[in-house]
Amino acid sequence: MPKYIIGVDEGTTSCRAGLFDVDKNEFVKIEQESLSIYSPHEGYVEQDGDEIFNTFISVVEKVLNCQEAKNGEILGLGITNQRESTICFDKKTGKCLSKVIGWQCRRTAKMCDEIPAHFKKYIKKTTGLVVDAYFSATKMKWLIENNSELNLYRQQKNLCFSTLDSFLIFRLTKGKKFITDVTNASRTMLFDIKKLDYDDKLLKYFEIYREELPSVISNNQIIDEIELCGRKIKLCGLIGDQQSSLFGQACFECGEIKNTYGTGCFMLANTGEKIVDVKNLVSTVAYKLNGEKVKYALEGSVFNAGSCIEWLKDVGLIQSASETQELAEKAKDSGRVVFVPALTGLGAPYWDMNARGLLIGINRATKKEHIVRAVLESIAYSTFDVFNLFKKNISNISQIKCDGGVSKNDFLMQYQSDLLNLEIVIPQNYETTLLGAVYMCALGIGVFSSTETIKNVWKKKKSFIPTIDVQTQKRRLARWHKAISRSLNWRSDEKEKN
Ligand code: ADP
């Protein structure tokens, strides 16, 4: 009888479940449903907790009902999720008490600005994070300050604050388990990444009680057994999406790097047991396996990549994402048009919540394809700026393993390789985020004995090698940095009217 592990990726734009054949080492079925994203006010990004949970169940049930699953054994189910996005719910019933405040939401930008400089330093030292509205702590504080109903739950000790992993697990286990894993915890801005515990000083500052937060487990710990579609399924494997793809890309050695081009762009390097502290980059937990020492990662998060492609659709310049490649190639160059993708401020290495997007260099000859090309190029430039800092702090980088929806664009991957002057490698198994959760489950339930097994099954599909000269590279970068400097600090003054 074939043996399967189900991996579920609760992402930003969609929820995906995959049925992974353990012997064939491949997904035999993938189900996906999209998720709504709301923006009720400028800079706000929200999602709906019930929709996320129902979609999660729906994709898993679809997978369980496929013929392969019916005829096979389900060994376990691992989960990976969009990180930082925050929700609060009732400890007694699991009822959502707020919308999900999305990781891209900027509503707490001002709150972040108001944190004193010395405390920002303390936060970086303790949590590894650069203070930003991106992380969960200010989202939690905002919820307390803006929803008086929560006080009642708080007084009765029925308030739960969490990232989406804990919320899903809480509901899946019918309230039995209120847990998170080390990687998700490390994104809350409340977690001491050395002690692997919430930090009391931070809890006090953000006015969160310890019992309102989930307890923290390692990534391959067995969580519980649940029942779905009449089948008993072991829950095992919990990991934030970017760490999951680092794991799924088999980046287990110090200095191995992956870059995921999804809604945003996330570059992570495994730094082993060492925390590498770099100004304007984030140090974070890469993963922790049962009984082993924690591994750390250096991370650069670019907030907008695929979201820019979606924006091109929204404004009607393209119908589908795949068109972008042909249009970019048709243009031959961007006609000196530069796009700065600050659609929700700028993340690493600029961390400017007040930056706004920019399209500059347009003239009468500018065509649609120039703009589309400039948008694609901007994703490569944003990645360059992050990589530049990686290069200064990590030795012996020989390649970057890339994945995510936008990396299907060969034009972009070649442009990226040219800009970085580095080999870009695409894996055979594209579903690296799902794979991380599946591998965590496999290690937890004993199907895989160690990460060596994963290393042996990881295969390269293709790679891109740099082709341009240094002068061209320098010229392109100079133009990009000129544009970036103009988009920085474009404060969106709420009082400023059109
Ligand atoms: P997430 O996990 O963040 O939801 P995905 O990794 O699923 O993101 O990638 C989805 C993104 O990839 C979408 O924004 C989509 O526009 C973009 N995308 C898909 N195919 C292409 C392509 N060929 N060229 C450029 N962008 C693409």
DSSP-derived secondary structure for 66-131 = SHHHHTSEEEEEEEEE-SS-EEEEETTT--B-S-EE-TT--TTHHHHHTS-HHHHHHHHHHH-PPP
447 C-alpha to center of ligand 1: Å?
A: 32
Q: What is the 3-state composition of the chain as percent helix, strand, coil, each rounded to the nearest 5? A: 35, 25, 40
Apex CA 116: angle with CA 110 and CA 119, to 5°?
120
Report the first-to-last Cα separation within the chain, whole angstroms: 65
pLDDT at 498: 55
Q: State the Cα–Cα distance between residues 413 and 261, nearest whole angstrom.
A: 10
Specify the pLDDT at position 353.
Answer: 79
CA 308 / ligand 1 centre spacing (Å): 10
**DSSP assignment of 358-393, as one string?**
EEE---TT--HHHHHHHHHHHHHHHHHHHHHHHHHH
Please state the atom number of ligand 1 nearest to the C-alpha of residue 404.
6
- Give 399-413 pLDDT, tens digit per residue: 999 999 999 999 999
- pLDDT at 122 exceeding the cut of 70: yes
Best mutation site among 8, 314, 326, 406 for ligand 1 pocket (most ligand atoms within 8 Å of CB): 406
**Residue pLDDT, tens place only, 162-184:** 999 999 999 999 999 999 999 99
Distance 322 CA to ligand 1 centre (A): 9
ω into residue 116 within 30 of 0, thus cis? no
Residue 349 C-alpha to ligand 1 middle, in angstroms? 22
The answer as to CATH 2.40.50.140 being correct for domain 3-238 is no
Residues near ligand 1 (Cβ within 6 A): 11-14, 262-263, 306, 309-310, 321-322, 324-325, 404-406, 408-409
**What's the 360 CA to ligand 1 centre distance in angstroms?**
24
CA of 404 to the centre of ligand 1 (A): 7
Q: Is the dihedral of CA 20, 246, 270, 220 positive or negative?
A: negative
Query: What confidence tier does 447 reach under pLDDT thresholds 50, 70, 90?
Result: very high
Please list, in sequence order, all residues whose beta carbon lies within 8 angstroms of the beta carbon of residue 133, skipping any fewer than 6 positions away: 105, 106, 107, 108, 109, 111, 112, 139, 345, 353
**Mean predicted confidence (pLDDT) in 371-375:** 97
Question: In the chain, how long is the greatest CA-to-CA distance?
Answer: 66
Give the distance from CA 67 to its chain's centroid.
Answer: 32
Who contacts 156 (Cβ-Cβ below 8 Å, separation ≥6)? none
Q: Are strands 265-272 and 282-287 parallel, antiparallel or unpaired?
A: unpaired
Of the candidates 245, 340, 363, the one whose C-alpha atom is nearest the C-alpha of residue 299 is 245
Atom of ligand 1 nearest to the CA of 376: 25
Token readout for 182 is 């080390």
Average per-residue pLDDT for the chain: 94
| Nearest CA among 8, 58, 61, 6 for reference residue 33 | 58
Q: What is the pTM of this model?
A: 0.91
- Ligand 1, atom 12, lies closest to the CA of 405
Domain boundaries, the chain: 3-238
